[in-house]
Amino acid sequence: MRFRSYWAQRPRRPRSSNYRGITYFFTGGTTVAKVIMTAAAKTLSPVVLELGGKSPTIIHSSADLRVAARRIAHGRWTNAGQTCTAPDYVLVDGEVTEPFLERLKEALLQFYGEDPQSSADYGRIINLRHFDRLTGLLAGGEVYHGGQHDRTDLYLAPTVLVNVATDAPVMQDEIFGPILPVLQVRDLREAIDFVNARPSPLGLYVFAEDRAVAEQVLSSTASGDAVVNDCTLQPIIHALPFGGVGNSGMGKYHGEWGFRTYTNARGVLYHSTGLDPSVRYPPYDQNQLLRRTVAHLPS
């Protein structure tokens, strides 16, 4: 098994588009993914696309809010939010919205202190282009916590937004940065409908101590992967298939799933020549007794 890797700066035909018998693997956005699929179609080559998207987090009123806040804070602000499986927004039951926000703020202060810019555990934005993109998203809601930024240091504080309009830019594309919109919903049905009204995400996270609630969310939605009472961990569990669905990608990999994806399951049959009964061959109006006998043999 051989691999070649390329860094795609902009949409263009892959350098390997004339190769036969290969599998394309691409991680990135849908625009370049469509270019990859077009090139692969010319040689009927299979593709694996891991495209991210806006991974929602649903918090039910039965959730352990302290644990949920700590795990969401870790998942969202690790590497300053620049991971494809990070929670992209939170849908929280109105009964527990304020307590959850308080716990989330407590977790951020515990993790990164009053001044996250001086924390050795908090990262920076990858470049100026993404920094400017992210700071432009701050206007999409009211800053509940954070919001401070320093362009010279590529620093954007862990930021929680509330009162976010659903048509705001921060709710349109994957954020891929340290901003977390928190939206209040009336009930679980509204949360499920909200998720289903948008493209299927790479990951979906639900926090609920009520098992029936978690199962209802899982059975009523579609996503590449899902986690109950945690988030972002699924890629490191190699026994789980990892990958998207729809706009968040196609194909599964990691562990055995990766081996199956990148290899061809070639069926091979070795058959003995010791027996070669004529019942197999025409003319089929002969050997009727033998045919009836064979037909009654157990399969």
Catalytic residue among 84, 98, 174, 231: 84
CB 51 within 8 A of CB 246: no
Decide if 98 is catalytic: no
Residue 161, strand partner residues: 143, 181
182-191: string of b/e by CB count within 10 Å (b at 16+)? bbbbeebeeb
**In whole angstroms, what is the distance from residue 3 CA to residue 25 CA?**
10
Residue 210: partners with Cβ closer than 8 Å, 6 or more residues away: 60, 62
> Does residue 50 have an active-site annotation?
yes
- At residue 248's C-alpha, the angle toward residues 211 and 257, to 5°, is 75
Residues taking part in catalysis: 50, 84
